[in-house]
Amino acid sequence: MIKYQIYKKYRLPITINPLNYGKLMLHLAEINFYIIYINSTNLAFITKFDLYNEIKFYTKGDLIFEFKDHKIDDTSFVRSIENNKYTFKNNKLIEVNKIIDSFKIKM
């Protein structure tokens, strides 16, 4: 069962696997690009690389934000959204870092 992170009222799947985001609509294997239908209003455009994914999150056809998921190991990854970094391990949030004016604040 996929758990979710709530970010700006949107439910983001806590996973680095594009296929766990929702229903696969399109996969271009030669460039590792996925379009995933998350729910009736949200889509994720995901480009998968060896150690990270670039995700563009759309709602009702509008780009809301972009983020990256950086793989640490098979059970951990760091999600970078805007000036925030979230570390997940075994599908649980374990650390939040906020970057403000080049200062790093650990919460």
* HSE-up (13 A, CA, CB side) for residue 77: 20
Q: Give the model's confidence band at 21: pLDDT under 50 very low, under 70 low, under 90 confident, else very high.
A: very high
Q: Give the model's confidence band at 101: pLDDT under 50 very low, under 70 low, under 90 confident, else very high.
A: low
Q: Is 29 helix (H, G, I), strand (E, B) or coil?
A: helix
d(CA 36, CA 105): 33
Angle at 72 between CA 57 and CA 7, to 5 degrees: 30
- Mean pLDDT, all residues of the chain: 91
Q: H or E element: which one contains 92? A: strand 92-100
Total domains in the fold of the chain:
1
pLDDT digits (tens, 9 = 90+) for 34-89: 999 999 999 999 999 999 999 999 999 999 999 999 999 999 999 999 989 999 99
* HSE-up (13 A, CA, CB side) for residue 99: 8
pLDDT at 104 over 60: no
* HSE-up (13 A, CA, CB side) for residue 22: 20
pLDDT at 105 over 60: no
Q: Give the model's confidence band at 2: pLDDT under 50 very low, under 70 low, under 90 confident, else very high.
A: confident
In the chain, what percentage of residues exceed pLDDT 70? 93
Residue that has been written with the tokens 């997940």 in this structure:
88
**Range(s) of the domain holding residue 54:** 4-106
- pTM equals 0.87
